[in-house]
């Protein structure tokens, strides 16, 4: 689509149709944006949407923690006004960082100073269901459920639609063509778009990868110990190059807690119920293990191992057809441990909206694709940048330049000061929450604390109460 005309101003122009591949959060939000520019938007979803709050089979990460960071909250409110108010009304926990969490970071316990950012920690299902309800209330957006995209229709110069096939009861359904002026691939980290593109004579994108081999396993528990209450909402053990095991205990909307433990390649956490608890003994403190031992399990253990960072460079030179865009995880996939996926899905949808509405520039496919990639770059810098330093990491994007070494040295000093220094910690949390660029860590006042200030004393044991701001 090279025109930003609104639907009501095109007179007798032919109907404009957009197809979105994938009905996840990224796909739904892309469809919502495109509905302002198309007469009809079709979301092709290979699964059938669950009734109520069930899990979509095509979203295996739904069983694991999902954080809606502040940058994502702002983006969702910009796209769907009042969304975060609706999320809070539905019971999604809102966790203040660092006040509400007992967190072990860089070998020390973090001070629980007043919150400088807030994170929603409810289930992925809750967020996706609310997004779906809001988006599909627009009659312009329709869905084809239980339907699989088999390939693109078109030529190296332009995509004209997709080939689809219904997923039936084992019988092989006939393919049919769904013509479209624009196709957006939001099919997730398992995207087949590179193969689809080469099949029509276009070039697949170059893929940048960094893979630590991180694996994690999650289980729902109910607190029976009294450890988690209105004073302490969750627990966190952050892995790093010197301590590679991690854990998260986060509140859900129904009062239970979703627990995740993680390790690297060769030492993956087990899905056996007994061994799962035993595995937590490897953490640098007994806090999470002791809580797991006494808490009440509410589900079985689910594992996940596909955690590589992958960025598909559709912005680089090559035969790129007009009428095709990639968004969400189909464009840029991050190690899920950083909790950025949902937020970046919303932020790239805002980038799509702004690129299509920019009256100063014609929204060509290349220009819009670059805007989507730029919106995902802050999360890539955090996730890929951190994973690059982990032992055993592999991938073609690992190499660092000599010019990067002073920055890496500086960032190590930042991390050392996060647990105790309020100024450095707040700057880091703003970057991590996607509300400030990485350059915020180099602001003059932050740089002075990082370069010349000694690490601030932190609690020797897990701080189970918030710090009084007046002390």
Tell me how far apart the alpha carbons of residues 243 and 240 are, in angstroms, rounded to a whole number.
5
Q: What is the dihedral of CA 148, 153, 158, 160, to 10 degrees?
A: -80
Mean pLDDT value across residues 186-200: 96
Residue 2: is its pLDDT beyond 60? no
Domain map (residue ranges) of the chain: 7-66+129-210+307-386, 213-304, 402-452
| 3-state helix/strand/coil string of the chain | CCCCCCHHHCCCCCCCEEEEECCCHHHHHHHHHHCCCCCEEEEECCCCCCCCCCCCCCCHHHHCCCCECHHHHHHHHHHCCCHHHHHHHCCCCEEEECCCEEEEECCEECCCCCCCEEEECCCHHHHHHHHHHHHCCCCCEEEECCEEEEEEEEECCEEEEEEEEECCCCCCCCCEEEECCEEEECCCCCCCHHHHHHHCCCCCCEEEEEECCCEEEEEEEECCCCCCCCCCCEEEECCECCECCEEEEEECCCCCEEEEEEECCCCCCCCCHHHHHHHHHHCCCCHHHHHHHHCEECCCCEEECCCCEEEEECCCCCCCCECEEECHHHCEECCHHHCCHHHHHHHHHHHHHHHHHCCCCCCCHHHHHHHHHHHHHHHHHHHHHHHCCCCCCECCCCCCCHHHHHHHHHHHHHHHHCCCCHHHHHHHHHHHCCCCCHHHHHCHHHHHHHHHCCCCCCCCCCCCCCCCCCC
pTM of the model: 0.93
Residue located via tokens 């592999």: 394
Contact 238, 104 (CB under 8 A): yes
Give domain 7-66+129-210+307-386's CATH number out of 3.90.550.10, 3.50.50.60, 3.10.450.240, 3.40.640.10. 3.50.50.60
Looking at residue 455, its pLDDT comes to 81
Domain covering 213-304 in this structure, CATH number = 3.30.70.2450
Tell me how far apart the alpha carbons of residues 198 and 28 are, in angstroms, rounded to a whole number.
26
| Structure tokens belonging to residue 273 | 């119920």
Looking at residue 174, its pLDDT comes to 87
Residue 48: is its pLDDT beyond 50? yes
Mean pLDDT value across residues 46-64: 71
Tell me how far apart the alpha carbons of residues 207 and 106 are, in angstroms, rounded to a whole number.
31
Strands 40-44 and 182-185: unpaired
Cis peptide before 98 (omega within 30 of 0): yes
Q: Which residues contact 84 (CB under 8 A, 6 or more apart)?
A: 73, 76, 77, 120
Residue 5: is its pLDDT beyond 50? no
Looking at residue 4, its pLDDT comes to 36
How many Å is the Cα radius of gyration of the chain?
Answer: 23
Mean pLDDT value across residues 71-88: 98
Report the chain's mean pLDDT, rounded to a whole number: 92
Tell me how far apart the alpha carbons of residues 420 and 414 are, in angstroms, rounded to a whole number.
11
Task: Give the range among 48-57, 198-207, 278-287 with minimum mean pLDDT.
Answer: 48-57
Residue 3 confidence class, pLDDT cut points 50, 70, 90: very low
Residue 264: is its pLDDT beyond 70? yes
Residue 333: is its pLDDT beyond 90? yes
What digits encode the pLDDT tens for the residues 397-412?
A: 998 765 567 788 999 9
**Distances from the Cα of 381 to the Cαs of 66, 343, 432, in angstroms?**
19, 15, 10
Q: Give me the residues paired with residue 161 across strands.
A: 153, 179
Percentage with pLDDT > 70 across the chain: 93
Q: Look at 450 and 361; give whichever has higher pLDDT.
A: 450
Residue 429: is its pLDDT beyond 60? yes
Q: Look at 14 and 157; give whichever has higher pLDDT.
A: 157
Residue located via tokens 């840029």: 332
Quote the Cα angle for 153-377-22, to 5°: 35
CA nearest to 4, candidates 337, 432, 357, 373: 357
Looking at residue 13, its pLDDT comes to 64
Q: Look at 405 and 348; give whichever has higher pLDDT.
A: 348
Residue 471 confidence class, pLDDT cut points 50, 70, 90: low
What digits encode the pLDDT tens for the residues 90-139?
A: 999 999 999 999 999 999 999 999 999 999 999 999 999 999 999 999 99
Residue 255: is its pLDDT beyond 60? yes
Looking at residue 109, its pLDDT comes to 97
What digits encode the pLDDT tens for the residues 351-387?
A: 999 999 988 888 899 999 999 999 999 999 999 989 9
Contact 362, 311 (CB under 8 A): no
Residue 172: is its pLDDT beyond 90? no
Q: How many CB atoms lie within 10 A of CB 207?
A: 15
Residue 16 confidence class, pLDDT cut points 50, 70, 90: very high
Residue 53 confidence class, pLDDT cut points 50, 70, 90: low
Strands 17-21 and 40-44: parallel
Percentage with pLDDT > 90 across the chain: 85
């Amino acid at each position: 689509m090279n025109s930003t005309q609104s639907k009501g101003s095109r007179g007798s122009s032919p109907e404009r149709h957009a197809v979105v591949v994938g009905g996840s959060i990224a796909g739904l939000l892309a469809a919502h944006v495109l509905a302002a520019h198309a007469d009809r938007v079709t979301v092709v979803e290979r699964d059938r949407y669950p009734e109520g709050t069930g899990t979509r089979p095509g979203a295996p990460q739904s069983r694991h923690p999902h954080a809606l960071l502040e940058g994502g909250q702002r983006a969702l409110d910009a796209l769907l006004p009042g969304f975060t108010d609706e999320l809070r009304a539905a019971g999604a926990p809102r966790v203040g960082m660092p006040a509400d969490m007992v967190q072990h970071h860089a070998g020390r316990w973090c001070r629980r100073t007043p919150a400088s950012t807030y994170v929603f920690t409810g289930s992925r299902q809750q967020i996706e269901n609310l997004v779906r309800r809001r988006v599909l209330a627009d009659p312009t957006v329709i869905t084809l459920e239980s339907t699989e995209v088999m390939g693109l229709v078109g030529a190296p110069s332009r995509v004209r639609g997709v080939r689809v096939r219904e997923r039936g009861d084992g019988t092989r359904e006939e393919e049919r063509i769904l013509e479209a002026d624009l196709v957006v691939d939001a099919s997730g980290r398992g995207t087949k778009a590179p193969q689809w593109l080469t099949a029509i004579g276009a070039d697949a994108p170059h893929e940048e990868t960094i893979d630590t081999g991180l694996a994690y396993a999650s289980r729902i528990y109910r607190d029976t110990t009294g450890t988690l209450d209105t004073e302490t909402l969750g627990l966190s053990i952050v892995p790093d190059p010197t301590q590679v095991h991690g854990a998260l205990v986060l509140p859900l909307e129904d009062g239970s807690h979703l627990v995740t433990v993680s390790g690297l390649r060769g030492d993956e956490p087990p899905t056996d119920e007994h061994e799962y608890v035993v595995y937590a003994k490897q953490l640098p403190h007994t806090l999470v293990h002791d809580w797991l031992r006494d808490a009440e399990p509410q589900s079985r253990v689910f594992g996940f191992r596909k955690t590589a960072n992958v960025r598909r460079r559709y912005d680089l030179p090559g035969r790129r057809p007009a009428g095709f865009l990639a968004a969400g995880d189909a464009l840029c996939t991050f190690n899920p441990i950083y909790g950025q996926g949902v937020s970046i899905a919303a932020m790239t949808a805002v980038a799509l909206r702004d690129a299509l509405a920019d009256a100063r520039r014609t929204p060509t496919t290349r220009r819009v694709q670059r805007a989507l990639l730029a919106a995902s770059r802050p999360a890539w810098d955090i996730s890929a940048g951190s994973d690059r330093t982990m032992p055993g990491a592999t991938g073609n994007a690992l190499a660092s330049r000599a010019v990067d070494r002073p920055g890496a040295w500086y960032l190590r000093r930042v991390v050392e000061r996060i647990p105790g220094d309020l100024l450095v910690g707040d700057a880091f949390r703003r970057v991590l929450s996607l509300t400030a660029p990485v350059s915020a860590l180099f602001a003059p006042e932050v740089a002075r604390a990082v370069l010349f200030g000694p690490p601030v004393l932190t609690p020797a044991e897990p701080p189970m109460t918030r710090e009084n701001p007046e002390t």
